[in-house]
Amino acid sequence: MKKFLRKMLVSVLLGGALLFAMPVVPALAASGTWYTIDMNTTVARVMTAHGAANRTQSLAGMAQDNNAFAAINGTYFNAYGGAPFPDGTVMRDGKLLHIGGGAVMGITSDGRLLIDRLDITINCTVNDAQTFKAWRINHDCETSDAIVLYTSEFAGQITPYAGGKAVLVGGDGTVSNITSSPFTVPAGGFAIMFNVDAKCSINVGDRVSYSPTFNTTYTSAADWENVQQALGAGPSLLINGNVTADPAAEGFQDSKIANSVPRSFIGNKANGEIVIGRINSATPKDAAAYCQSLGLVNAMCLDGGGSINLYYDGKKVFTGRDVNNGLGFIRQAEKPISVILNGSRLSFTQPPYVANDVTLVPMRAIFEALNASVDFDAASRKITATKGETVIELVLGQKSAIKNDQTINLDVPADTRNGSTMVPLRFVAEALQAQVDWDNANRTITISTN
C-alpha cells in the first residue's frame, strides 16, 4: 500500500498540453513521470470514491465525475479486505472526512500548497458548554471508550457496538435521536458514536457542534485555517526547502516504507506551481533528492505500490487498483493580473499578460502612471520615455533597451497586442527607480515609488 522512484523524466505542462522529454539526471538514484500544474488557471479538489468516505472507485472515474483534467491517487486506505476506510487525513471543500497522523498536504482557497507534520484534534461542544474530543471521523473503532464522528458522506448503515449508542444530529445542529439500533447519518448532519464505556451526557434537543484544531510542526496553524483540500499520507520529503524524509519520525512502522519502492508524490515550486507524479522506485531520501531536482520546495509521498494512479487529459497514465480517494485539478478561467501602484490599482485598456515569465503592460498607461513622458516613433518602432534625467529607449521586437546610454538585455522585448504597444513592466518600473513585487497566488504586481 505504500510507494516510490527511478530513471527517465517526462513533463507535461498542463494548460498548454505541451509534452516534452527531460534529460536523464545521472547523479540521481531515481526517475519518474511528472506533471506541472499552473494554479493560476486551476483549482484543486479532493475526490472521494462515488462521493463517499468509505467506497472505492477508479481514479479515472473520480476525475471524470469531478471534471478534472489531471488527477493523482491520494492517501492510504484499507485495500485488503473489509471496509475501505482511509488511513490518513482527508478534507474536501473545507470539511474533514477523516483524520490521521503524519504528513499532510493542504491546498488553500487561493491555491497555495502547504505540507506539514500535523496532529489534528476534533473538539465537540454541547450547548456551548460541555466539551469532549472525537477519536476518529468516518472510521469505526472497537475500543470500549472510543468516540467516533460520522459525517453524511459515510455511505450505508452503521451498527453501534454492544452497549454503545449513537447521537444523531440534524443539519441545524440539533440532536434529533439517540439510538442503539442500526442507523444512517442524517443528510446534511452528522452522528457521534459512543462505545459502551464512553461518557455521553447528551439529550434530544441539545445543540452539538464540532471543529478541528491543527497542531503544526513547521507551519502556522493560522495557514491551515484557510486550507480547503487536504490529504495525509507520507512520508514527507521536503518542507520549506528542507529534507524531512524520515518515515520513523512520522509514525511509519512498516520497514518497506524505508526501502526502495514505487511512490506517488505531490509538491510545489517556489513560484506556486504544483507538481504531481510517480517515482519508479526510490528510498525516501532518494525521493527527496529527486523532488529537489524538479525545483520543489515542499514535497511528500502519497499512497504508492498497487495504488499508484495518474490521470491526465482523458488518459490513464498509470493505472493501479481502485482507490478510496484522490486529488483532482479542474481548469478555471485565468485570473487577471492586477497592478497596484503606491496602494492604488491601475486600469488598462488592454489587460496585462505574461510571456516567458515576464509581465507586459500598455506602454502609455504605465509610463504616465510613473510620471514619465513617452513618445513612440512608428517608423523606427522606437519608444522613448523620459523622467527627470532618466531616458529609456525600447524598440518593438528588440531584446535590448537603453537607459541613459547603457544597453540592458531584456528577457522579453516590447511588443504589440490588439493594437496596444506593450512593454515589460519590471524593466520599466525599476529603470525609473521603483520597487516591484509579484504575488503569484493572487497574480498581483505591487509597485512602490516611495
Kindly report the backbone phi and psi dihedral angles of residue 182, in degrees, each rounded to the nearest multiple of 5, phi listed first.
-55, 145
In the chain, what are the domain boundaries? 9-113+218-331, 121-211, 338-448
Q: Does domain 338-448 have CATH number 3.30.457.10?
A: yes
| Cα dihedral value 70, 14, 44, 286, nearest 10 | 80
- Please answer whether residues 175 and 203 qualify as being in contact, where contact means their C-beta atoms are separated by less than 8 angstroms: yes
Residue type, 437: D
Instruction: Tell me if domain 121-211 and domain 338-448 are identical in fold.
Output: no
β-bridge mates for residue 148, sequence order: 136, 193
Kindly report the backbone phi and psi dihedral angles of residue 404, in degrees, each rounded to the nearest multiple of 5, phi listed first.
50, 50
What are the pLDDT tens digits along the chain (450 aa)?
333 222 223 333 333 333 333 333 445 667 899 999 999 889 999 999 999 999 999 999 999 999 899 999 999 999 998 899 999 999 999 999 999 988 999 999 889 999 999 999 999 999 988 899 999 999 999 999 999 999 999 999 999 999 999 999 998 899 999 999 999 999 889 999 999 999 889 999 999 999 999 999 999 998 898 899 999 999 999 999 999 999 999 989 888 888 999 999 999 999 999 999 999 999 999 999 999 999 999 999 999 999 999 999 989 999 999 999 999 999 987 778 889 999 888 888 788 988 888 999 999 999 999 999 999 998 999 999 999 999 999 999 999 999 999 999 999 999 988 788 999 999 999 999 999 999 887 889 999 997
CA 33/CA 38 separation, integer angstroms = 17
CA 124/CA 129 separation, integer angstroms = 10
Nearest residue to 216 (alpha-carbon basis) of 89, 328, 31: 89
> What pLDDT sits at residue 335?
75
What is the grid cell recorded at 447? Answer: 509597485
Q: CB atoms < 10 A from the CB of 237, how many? A: 31
> What pLDDT sits at residue 1?
37
Continuous H helices in 332-409: 363-369
CA 382/CA 216 separation, integer angstroms = 55
Q: What is the CA radius of gyration of the chain?
A: 27
Residue type, 135: W
In order, the DSSP letters of 96-111 are EEE--SSEEEEEETTS
> What pLDDT sits at residue 28?
64
- Please answer whether residues 59 and 71 qualify as being in contact, where contact means their C-beta atoms are separated by less than 8 angstroms: yes
At 129 the three-state DSSP class reads: coil
What is the grid cell recorded at 427? Answer: 524593466
Q: Indicate the CATH number for domain 121-211.
A: 2.60.120.1140
CA 267/CA 372 separation, integer angstroms = 43
CA 173/CA 189 separation, integer angstroms = 7
> What pLDDT sits at residue 81?
83
Q: H-helix or E-strand containing 373?
A: strand 373-377
